[in-house]
Structure 1
Amino acid sequence: MLVKFCGATTESEVAAVATAGADLVGLWYAVPGGPAELAAGRAVQLCAAARETGRAEPVLVTFSHDTEDLLAVVEAGRVPWVQLHGFQAPSVVRRLRRDGPPGLRIVKVLHVDAAGRCLEGALAGAYEKAGADCVLYDAVGADGRIGSTARSLDPAAVTALAGRTGLPFLLAGGLHAQNRAAFEAVVAHPRFLGIDVDSAARGPGGLLDARAASAVAHAWRAGTAAAPGTAA
């Protein structure tokens, strides 16, 4: 199971989630108004910090449709993962696959509303054909907001949606150390790849925190809930 913690803005946060067992750390780039938004140069610096941990690989998380700009940051930061979190067209995936470095892994987020409807459902197959390596199911907020909504998806809706492509998938949306059991059917799916967590990995000051992140990672990997506020 891959564990990704998203929205690092400092070297200390990158180090904290690596210590907590993260495989991936999300760095926000071209996410207008996002609380963890990074300038290109800062994203490149934190990519280097992630590599220095020897554990957590950086993921460039973006709403951008500008493939030329994204490829420039990928090259400068030696970025191994790009997560397309907006409503990018399949052509963006195709261009990144064609012109990106060998081995670049492309994640396309598919947004799911409260009724279990995937907003990009009609394009799921096109993303796969364009070269996406995996998809990530994330919840749309009640106000239509996407990203870091802290709203959980219906596990049955996730497994149903997963059957519409042949791609591995990650799960996001309100995941924490106490709700692992609710997603047993999702975790058991043969193409389940891992989880993406933001809010539940943050400490009292709002930054990504080793203790909080460790509790999430342990609970999901071990299949047991950790008590609130405890470390793995």
Structure 2
Amino acid sequence: MLVKFCGATTAAEVRGVADAGADLVGLWHQVPAGRAELSAQRLAGLAAAARATGRLQPVLVTFGSDVEALARLTAGGGPWWIQLHGYQPPATVRALRALVPDGVRIVKVLHVQGASCVEAGLIGAYERAGTDCFLLDAVTADGRIGSTALPLKQATVTALADRMARPFLLAGGLSADNAGRFRGAVAHPRFLGIDVDSAARGPGGLLAEAHAAAVATAWRTP
């Protein structure tokens, strides 16, 4: 199981989630009004800090669709994963796949509102375009996406996973307290790991090692 904590803004947060047992750290760039938004320079610095831990892989989390700009961010030792968190079409994935260095993994977020997934009919197209894996995340009733802290229904998760040929990461209000609610999703043959934001944060709003460790331990405990 891969464990990803999202929205780091400091090198201390990066080191903390690495020490907590994380595999991936999400770094935001081109996330309009995002509380963890990073400049390209800060993104490069934190990506380097992640790699310096010896275990943590940086993930560029973006609503952007300028494939040339995104590809430049992965050049020269940039993030190893790109998470497309907006409503970018399969054509964007195809164009990005043609530009990024070998080894860069493309994650396409699928947005789920209630029991409905906006992109469900495009899963096959995203796979053919070059998506390496999907991330399932919740959309609020008013359409807000990203770090909503809303949990998905397990039946919805597994139904979508059954339509995929690629692995998936699970997001949406995951915490140390609700790991047991998703054992069916974890047991799915295409389950790859979890993506957590809010539950890994301390009182000051930053990612905290103790909170992150509690989440990682709970989800990795049979």
Return the alpha-carbon distance in structure 1 between the equivalents of residues 198 and 44 of structure 2: 23
Give ranges in structure 2 of 5+ residues lacking alignment: none
Amino acid at match of 1:96: L
- Residue by residue over 1:17-60, the C-alpha shift from the partner in whole angstroms, topping out at 9 and shown as x without a partner, is 00000000000010010000001111000000001111110000
- The answer to whether the 8 Å contact 1:45/1:77 transfers is no
Give the match for residue 94 of structure 1. Answer: 94
Q: What is the CA distance between 1:186 and its match in structure 2?
A: 0.2
- The answer to whether the 8 Å contact 1:168/1:191 transfers is yes
Q: What is the CA distance between 1:142 and its match in structure 2?
A: 2.3
Give the match for residue 5 of structure 1. Answer: 5
Q: What is the CA distance between 1:2 and its match in structure 2?
A: 0.1
Return the alpha-carbon distance in structure 2 between the equivalents of residues 5 and 79 of structure 1: 15
Return the alpha-carbon distance in structure 1 between the equivalents of residues 177 and 79 of structure 2: 32
SS of alignment partner, residue 4 of structure 1: strand
Give the match for residue 139 of structure 1. Answer: 138
TM-score (structure 1 length as normaliser): 0.94
SS of alignment partner, residue 38 of structure 1: coil
- The answer to whether the 8 Å contact 1:85/1:109 transfers is yes
Q: Which runs of 4+ in 1 moved over 2 A?
A: none
The answer to whether structure 1 residue 105 and structure 2 residue 105 are counterparts is yes
**In the superposition, relative to structure 1, how do residues 41 and 77 fare at CA in structure 2: closer, same or farther (>3 Å)?**
farther
Larger deviation: 91-100 or 15-24? 91-100
Return the alpha-carbon distance in structure 1 between the equivalents of residues 5 and 28 of structure 2: 12
Return the alpha-carbon distance in structure 2 between the equivalents of residues 169 and 21 of structure 1: 20
Give the match for residue 193 of structure 2. Answer: 194
Return the alpha-carbon distance in structure 1 between the equivalents of residues 221 and 164 of structure 2: 28
Give the match for residue 202 of structure 2. Answer: 203
Return the alpha-carbon distance in structure 2 between the equivalents of residues 213 and 47 of structure 1: 19
SS of alignment partner, residue 116 of structure 2: coil
Q: What is the CA distance between 1:97 and its match in structure 2?
A: 1.2
The answer to whether structure 1 residue 161 and structure 2 residue 160 are counterparts is yes
SS of alignment partner, residue 194 of structure 1: strand
Give the match for residue 222 of structure 1. Answer: 221
- The answer to whether the 8 Å contact 1:44/1:76 transfers is no
Give the match for residue 83 of structure 2. Answer: 83
Give the match for residue 61 of structure 1. Answer: 61
Return the alpha-carbon distance in structure 2 between the equivalents of residues 78 and 46 of structure 1: 9
Amino acid at match of 1:5: F
Q: What is the CA distance between 1:117 and its match in structure 2?
A: 0.6
Give the match for residue 48 of structure 2. Answer: 48
SS of alignment partner, residue 37 of structure 1: coil
Q: What is the CA distance between 1:77 and its match in structure 2?
A: 4.5
Give ranges in structure 1 of 5+ residues lacking alignment: 224-232
- The answer to whether the 8 Å contact 1:106/1:132 transfers is yes
Return the alpha-carbon distance in structure 1 between the equivalents of residues 92 and 4 of structure 2: 23
- The answer to whether the 8 Å contact 1:60/1:81 transfers is yes
TM-score (structure 2 length as normaliser): 0.98
- The answer to whether the 8 Å contact 2:68/2:99 transfers is no
Q: What is the CA distance between 1:100 and its match in structure 2?
A: 0.8
Larger deviation: 96-105 or 8-17? 96-105
Return the alpha-carbon distance in structure 1 between the equivalents of residues 149 and 3 of structure 2: 17
**In the superposition, relative to structure 1, how do residues 77 and 38 fare at CA in structure 2: closer, same or farther (>3 Å)?**
farther
